[in-house]
Amino acid sequence: MSALGALLATRSESGSTGMRSRILLGLVCGGYSVGAAFGWGSPQVAVFMGDFGLAAAALVAAVSCFLYARTGAGRLRPAWLLFSLSSAMAACGNAVWGWYEVILGVPVPTPSLADVFFLCFAPPAIVGLLVLAKRPVTRAGWVCLALDAWLIGGSLLTLAWSLALAHTAHMAGFQEASVAPAALSLAYPLLDIVLVSMVLALHFRRAGVNRSAVNTAIAALALTVLSDAVFTSPLLRSTYHSGQLLDAGWFAGSLLLAYAPWGARRGARRPVRPGPPRAIASRPIAGSLAALTPYLAAAVCTLGILYNVVDGRRVDRVVIFTGCTVVLALVVRQGIMLLDNISLTQELAQKENHFRSLVQGSSDVIMIAAPNGTLRYVSPAAAGVYGREAEDLVGAELSSIIHPDDLGRVVHEVRRFLAAPPHEEPTTRIECRFRSGTGDWLNVESTVNRHQGGLLLNSRDVTERVRLQAQLQHNAEHDPLTDLPNRALFTARVRQALSGRRSGDPGTAVLFIDLDGFKQVNDTIGHQAGDELLIQAGRRLQESVRAGDTAARLGGDEFAALIMGDGTRDQGAREYQVHEIADRLRLTLSQPYRIGASEVRVAASIGVAFAEPAISPTDLMRNADLAMYRAKAGGKDRVELYAPQMQADVVRRSELATRLRTALRDGEFALLHQPVVHLASGSVAAVAAQARWRSAQGILFTPAEFLRVSGDDDRTAQLGRWLLEEAVAQAAERARAGHPVAVSVRLSAARLLDSAPPPGSVEALLTRHGLPSGALMIEVADSDPRVSFDALEQRLVALRRLGVRIALDGFGSGFAAINALRRLPIDVLKLDRNLVEGVVESARLHKITSGLLRIACDLGLQSVADGVDVPEQVLALRAMGCTHGQGMAFSGPLDEYRLRRALVRGEFPVPGIPAPRPVMAGGSIPLLAGSHTETPVPPT
């Protein structure tokens, strides 16, 4: 039998199915019952199985409970240890009983050691049941537990005393010599009554932990007690012998107790399938039986007394005393329950008041909707939140207060929520619009729960939050000054246009718009006026585009427009249409702006790019940006359509700019000089320093070629510093070699005002290289209108104090040439080569050039004509009074070796003048800057 217990434990531990364990348990118990019913075939086997068989079954139960208590029974571990001890007592009692009957072959004496072990079976089991029970949390609960136990025990004692125990006690009174056997006869039923009382009383108070094991253990003890009760009855006690069918009850009780913990562990390890909780049918029945327990106990006492009365016997004092104590316990218990009910009623009323106060005082609206959507309850907060009384909403359809546009979405969400398992999604959140009492629509957020087949909604007004979110979203996507869409929203609209149902429409176009002259507005009349101009420009742009198009401000004075296609497949017609729209926008934005009392004018340069198959929003916007910059470079105030060549130019300029930065770092620049010749004598008056970039292929690039694409102010400034320092150094070296000719360096006005170099940098260069200050001339490039004349004037005056001569480069082409001539300290006027090129062919240019030279003569200034390439130009310029010339008619830019040879020769042949006499270089003017568009000179 111990092997059977180990087998049960092993199978349970290994995860065998519970059905196999229960079938095996039933087969073993059934086999024992069949053997006992047929007397096991012989009296000797019957006695052996009736004694040692029961001892083995009880030992299996003891070992099983002990092993389970050691492996992890949790807080119920003491109970299983007590059950193990109780079963061990039963095993010892049956073993002693078998020792007498099987080994010694004599009847079991009364009393004997077996009776001691049997009497010790009940107390550990009773204490173990107390451990299994749910412990009361109050003192009144402990009192009620004791009263319940006494109600059951007293009633059973009354009935048992009336039926059998009174007779046993009466017989003991006549046989004083047999007091011990009589006491044993009373002890067995009394302990059984106590054990039965605990089983019944604690059955309704069992703990929720490991409920299956507890129920099985209680059933095992109940079966054992039932067998004990049958055994102690006078009718069976006198005729009992080992091996009878009654032993099957004890055997089954022991094996059931052995199975209890392991069968429960198997159930605990079985995975629980998720699903809705099912109501347990036994709980209402158990609650009803627990409530009827006191009355059933009183009924049993009454039956005991009636039995004595009907039988005609005198009512026993034990029955009277026990019945009175049972009734007294019932009264006390009912009194305690009444006080407990009063306390619970008061607590329930207090909680209900608290709940009602929370519901009525909550700022959220609590609504209960029936399964058909009718509102059955609405909290009073509806008056403050919805502006509607709760009574007006009760009975209304929930759908009647929801916005029609939101109703479909709400119904879909509610259906989905109700179809989901409650344990997976206990609540959901729905946001929609509710109709308020004033007829407005409020944004309401509701937490929805299930409630008796319907819905429980906890709603709150989130209108302000929704408005704030919408405002924040608007601010994130719109320009704060003009309220037009910003770059992020415009990019999203372009992406939507390229990916929507019109994604293949080639008529979709993007316009990039830049306001020409906007910086002058900021510099002249202030940034506030500039902001007002941008606001008006944004308003004009918004009013000029169509309803389906998008106007946006990208930043600064840059705007953009998205022109949606109309499905036209004629690309030429579509380009013409969009070009007309862009030109209309240009004219609209170029109209005068009224700002305060002033009237301001700006122009608009617009670049247009059309959508192409599979083009990305970034590429489309980049194309429009390139076209816009091409429009600005082409003269501004114009519309330019994107062409693929523009991107190629950008790539080329980027590559060239990268190579330029590398050339500056690696020292790939060379310095050439072009002679400046006196037109009357042909002598070399000065040399103009010019930078050339010698590429890796040996090609010399002129400044007009590489400065135009550098796009890097830092590199341009670095190149200017290198040119000035190299020109001064080589001029000083030539002077020391016997060729003291002046050198001219062309610098932009912005470069002269650059704060990066120290103010005394020119003086420091002259001092460091030992070049006289009169041998250096600075050519000021009059090409940047943003430069302040006041600052430039102060800078040039400081340079003239050092002895540096100043020349005005490009005279006749700059818009501020006359103003510069009036304010700046100028020594030399250098005519722009555009005037010189047409001075022979164009009578108009001839007159203009003649007038400019007359101005220079009247002001006492010397003049230099740049780009003198043919003899006819030399004759015409000399006839007009021009004093010096520079160009291919005399010489191109020379390297140092050729320049020195030219200086040794001293003169160049001049048309219309006899052959020159060999004289040394000289002249009365300082160094002059040459043209930046000269023909490249092959490397030497």
Rounded Cα gap, residues 48 and 165, in angstroms: 31
Cα separation of 762 and 437, whole Å?
Answer: 83
H/E stretch holding 244 reads none
Half-sphere exposure of 530 (CA within 13 A, CB side): 16
How many percent of the chain have pLDDT more than 90?
17
CB of 742 closer than 8 Å to CB of 893: no
Confidence (pLDDT) at 533: 92
Looking at residues 392-421, what average pLDDT do you find? 89
Burial of 226 (0-12, 13-18, 19+ CB in 10 A): middle
Parallel, antiparallel, or unpaired: how do β-strands 805-811 and 365-369 relate?
A: unpaired
3-state secondary structure of 166: helix
* Contact by Cβ (8 Å): 693, 722: no
Q: Any bridge partners for residue 884, and if so which?
A: 678, 864
Contact 54, 250 (CB under 8 A): yes
* Cα–Cα dist 865/931, whole Å: 10
Where are the strands (E) in 517-668, listed by range?
Answer: 550-555, 558-563, 593-595, 598-600, 603-610, 639-641
pTM of the predicted model over 0.85: no
Mean pLDDT, the chain, integer = 77
- Judge whether 749 and 780 are in contact, CB under 8 Å: yes
383-397: per-residue pLDDT in tens? 888 888 888 888 888
Highest mean pLDDT among 98-102, 150-154, 617-621: 617-621
Secondary structure class of 743 (helix, strand, coil): strand
SS3 category, 390? helix
Q: How confident is the model at residue 818 (pLDDT cuts 50, 70, 90)?
A: confident
The structure tokens listed for 279 are 């109501």
Q: Is the pLDDT score of 555 beyond 50?
A: yes
The reported pLDDT for the residue numbered 127 is 74
Most confident of 16-20, 332-336, 358-362: 332-336
Tokens of 104: 């010694």
Determine the pLDDT at residue 918.
46
The radius of gyration of the chain's CA atoms, rounded to the nearest angstrom, is: 58
Q: Is the peptide bond before 111 cis (omega within 30 degrees of 0)?
A: yes
Half-sphere exposure of 831 (CA within 13 A, CB side): 35
**CA nearest to 637, candidates 659, 604, 610, 614:** 604
Rounded CA separation 723/669 (Å) = 9
pLDDT score at 303: 62
Bridge-based pairing state of the strands 828-831 and 684-694: unpaired
* pLDDT tens digits for range 653-665: 777 777 777 777 7
Mean pLDDT within 364-393: 86
DSSP string, 524-566: HH-HHHHHHHHHHHHHHHHHHS-TTSEEEEEETTEEEEEE---
Select, from the ranges 119-128, 324-333, 725-734, the one with the highest average predicted confidence (pLDDT): 725-734
Nearest to 762 by CA among 723, 713, 733: 723
Please give the single-letter amino acid code of residue 548. G
- Evaluate the omega torsion of the peptide bond into residue 909 and state whether it is cis, within 30 degrees of 0: no
What would the pLDDT profile of 695-714 be if each residue is shown by its tens digit?
666 666 666 556 555 445 56
Tell me the β-bridge partners of 447. Answer: 429, 458
Quote the pLDDT of residue 492.
Answer: 92
H or E element that contains 203: helix 179-203
- Nearest CA to 261 out of 489, 76, 109 is that of 76
CB atoms within 10 A of CB 268: 11
Element at 818 (helix H, strand E): helix 817-823
Q: What is the mean pLDDT of residues 861-871?
A: 91
Q: Is the predicted pLDDT of residue 810 greater than 50, yes or no?
A: yes
CA-based nearest residue to 541, from 520, 566, 563: 563
Distance CA 189, CA 161 (A): 10
pLDDT digits (tens, 9 = 90+) for 239-275: 667 777 778 888 888 888 888 887 655 444 444 444 4
For the residues 824-833, what does the mean pLDDT come to? Answer: 88
* Mean pLDDT of all residues in 427-434: 91
pLDDT of residue 464 exceeding 80, the answer is yes
**Taking residues 205-229, what's their average pLDDT?**
69
Q: How many CB atoms lie within 10 A of CB 495?
A: 14
User: Quick check: 558 pLDDT over 80?
Assistant: yes
